[in-house]
Amino acid sequence: MTDFLSKYGYAPDQEAMNRALEMIATGLEGMASEQVYKECFSMMDLTTLKTDDTPASVTKLVNKVNSFKESYPEWPLPASLCVYPNFASVVRDARKCDVNITVVSACFPSSQSFLEVKLRECELAVEQGADEVDIVLALNAFLAGDYETAAEEIRQVRKCIDAVAARQGRQVHLKVILETGLLRTSENIANASFLAMEAGADFIKTSTGKVDVNATPASAYVMCECIARYHETTGKKIGFKPAGGISSAADALCYYSIVSTLLGKEWLNKDLFRFGVSRVANSLLSAVEQKTVSFF
């Protein structure tokens, strides 16, 4: 089992992290501005992952995004629409504006199935238009200490989606969800972060939103420290995506501040920073428009 913490010279410092998060929390009010709220909006993966999603309901959400600039011409579009993989073609066919198609795949949210099934699901999603694929780390292997199997699964997904994208003459991004609420310790979160980045993730993501504990400032802090250390060591910039339980403009501002503090302004764009959200869009709109907005 690879000791990633030793390899990258990283040791989570709980006391230092707590102090830093307290300082970030006290400074949030001063960071709030129309510009920052709009930046956060532009980095959203606007998400619908409901059991009762249908082609009609997904199309309705796409049409809201298509018409968004008519109602709010001074606002940016969200970065992407995130759906289950069977709806990739629905978004592709209804989309009339420049937003990416993100899918959750590889037997989301549990990642409990055969690798062949996971790969085929990812392959089909990309064939049907997915620009970005979010998969869950194989916790069945990782929590058993079998880091190599967990890493190899990410490598196989990376190879699979790249092959399909190459045939279509385009690129597809891979986000790996760590499910930090089930990893529990900072050490586990750090090991999972380094493992996913080494195995080919373009982004590492906190959570599925389907477990009891999802994104937290503490887990985000550890992941961003690992991204910074990985960049220092390899020169590669890996993106960060908090998701699950982010429901207010204040929540978005908190994660924006963590990324700004630990990774810097270079990461404050949709190529390296995303929010997985289903509710925060209206909150961001309301914060700037200074009235209750229920557009999405």
Within 8 A by CB and 6+ apart from 60, the residues are none
Q: What is the 3-state secondary structure (H, E, C) of 277-291?
A: ECCHHHHHHHHHHCC
Annotated catalytic residue 241: yes
DSSP strand E in 89-152: where?
100-104, 132-136
> What does residue 46 show for φ and ψ, rounded to 5 degrees?
-70, 120
Q: Distance (Å, rounded) from C-alpha 141 to C-alpha 148? A: 8
Burial class (CB in 10 A: 0-12, 13-18, 19+), 255: buried
In terms of Cα–Cα distance, which of 194, 280, 184 is closest to 233? 194
Helix, strand, coil percentages (3-state) for the chain, rounded to 5, are 55, 10, 35
Contact between residue 282 and residue 40 where contact means Cβ atoms under 8 Å apart: no
Count the residues in the chain.
296
- Active-site residue identified among 118, 175, 241, 270: 241
| Best CA proximity match to 201, nearest among 212, 211, 193 | 193
The single residue of 202, 205, 251, 270 carrying the catalytic annotation is: 205
**Tokens 């310790």, residue?**
185
Contact 137, 190 (CB under 8 A): no
69 in active site: no
Beta-ladder partners of 65: none
Helix (H, G, I), strand (E, B) or coil at 189: helix
Among the listed residues 134, 175, 202, 251, the single catalytic one is: 134
Any catalytic annotation for residue 205? yes
Q: Which of 210, 293, 272, 279 is nearest to 251 (CA)?
A: 279
- Residues with a catalytic annotation lie at 134, 205, 241
